[in-house]
Chains A and B, each alone.
Chain A
Amino acid sequence: MIDFRAAGPMEQFEIVPIIPLAFGNLDVSFTNSSLWMLIGTLAIIFFFFAATRRAGLIPGRVQAMAEVLYEFVSDLVRDTIGAEGRKFFPYVFTLFTFILVMNLFGLLPTIPGAPHAAHVFTPTSHLIVTLALAMVTITIVIAYGFWKNGLKFFKLFAPSGVPLWLMPILIPVEVVSFLSRPLSLAIRLFANMFAGHVILKLFAGFVVSLLSAGGFVMAFSIAPFIGAVAVTALEFLVAALQAYVFAVLTCIYLSDAVHAADH
């Protein structure tokens, strides 16, 4: 009789402190979330260090990959915001690579038997992280919007060419839609990561449960196993897609800030 134990689908989201750390009353311990942020960041740094170490006229394999990524985000920023978007390019690029790597690394398999703190963790599956990233974007939008357009930034809520009698309806709608942007941005990424990992863990849990039941029931574990494999493939797509969506929406919101006065 094989003894399997399935972890609950929520266990993967639990924060486990590794190095306790506090500023006054504020607990800023180095946790498994911090660990995976650090691993992802260091991986990105390592990749770009390798790509730019011998940046040459004829690119190596790593440099070519980095250049594809660079051109991809650069085109996105230019197409969405225009020439003025150049100054936001480092931010959008960092945002995209950071979220992409957090999402993708979260799909790595955990080494069996590893302590809980060493389990693979997805920082972007926590709402507070995605909300913080969304708030950075919205803060830049508002700050740059007012700095660039002054009070004309409010024209964002009153598009020109709309009949005056529509304004009392339109302006509240626009304001609400603007205010819901950071929430929708944050929840979209969080919920995608969260739901994907839960479904993945549920399928995996079914496999374990069926296997531990023993006897001929074990044969049925193949069905959730196939499901888990399929969801894993889907999650890779979602991981990349959500990083892209976050970057695109950031660009669109920044574009509003840049072009608010032209509305």
Chain B
Amino acid sequence: MSIFAIVSTYAGAAAEAAHGEASSAGLPQLDPTWWPSQLFWLVITFGFLYWLMAGKFLPAIGGAIEERRDRIADDLDQASEFKREAEEAESAYNQSLADAKAKAQGIAAKTRSEMDEEIANMQADTDATVEKQIATADVRIADMKTAASAKVKDAASDTARAIVEALIDEAPTSEAAAKAVNAVSQA
């Protein structure tokens, strides 16, 4: 309270010096004349301000802050969702890529084996045809050989008959000549 004492003494002196007014009674704060007025207007201004703050301004500001916070949270959620989807898409892409590679390798292997088989088949076919032709040729050669040898025998028996006719003037039957030729050729 000492500051009040000092200040009020000074105030008294200064006020007297400046004005000479009767305000040297003391602190204006301690004059009860204006207390009701101050309280009255404090209630009105503070009450009105409280009413506006509680009813209008604070909900508006709080709402804006809340809305922003929600929006940011939503955006973050959405971003993480997108990230998850992107990762899924990436893994799906990697999977399909791996599948495609495997499939391509499978197709390549299959094609190779099919081609190998086809080549083998064609080779076998060709071999078979060739062998058949060889066999046919062999048969023809054998036939021709037989025919040729038969013709040789005929010619030999004809020649033998002609020789015998020339020698004994008597022609043996072709059967006998053939028999004789056979006997000689088999000997």
* Interface residues, chain A, with chain B CB atoms under 8 Å away: 5-11, 13-15, 17, 21, 26-31, 33-34, 37-38, 40-41, 44-45, 48-49, 51-52, 55-57, 59, 63, 66-67, 70-71, 74, 89-91, 93-94, 97-98, 123, 125-129, 132-133, 190-191, 194-195, 198, 202, 205
Contact = CB atoms under 8 A, between A and B. Distances in A.
B38 A129 contact: yes
Interface in B6-54: 7-8, 10-11, 14-15, 17-19, 23, 27-31, 33-43, 45-46, 48-50, 52-54
A123 B64 contact: no
A20 B132 CA distance: 141
Contact of B29 (A30, A34, A128, A205): A128
B42 A26 contact: no
Which secondary structure characterizes the binding site on chain A? helix
B128 to A, nearest CB: 86
Given A45-B49, A94-B49, A190-B29, 17 more contacts: A9-B14, A10-B8, A15-B31, A15-B33, A15-B38, A31-B41, A34-B41, A48-B61, A55-B60, A57-B68, A70-B62, A71-B65, A90-B53, A91-B50, A97-B49, A132-B39, A191-B3
A246 B23 CA distance: 31
A28 B18 contact: no
Contacts, number: 165
Contacts of B65: 67, 70-71
B99 interface: no
Contacts of A28: 36-37, 40-41
A102 to B, nearest CB: 9
Nearest to B65: A67
B119 interface: no
B112 interface: no
B52 A45 contact: yes
Given A8-B11, A28-B40, A29-B37, A55 B49 contact: no
A71 B64 CA distance: 12
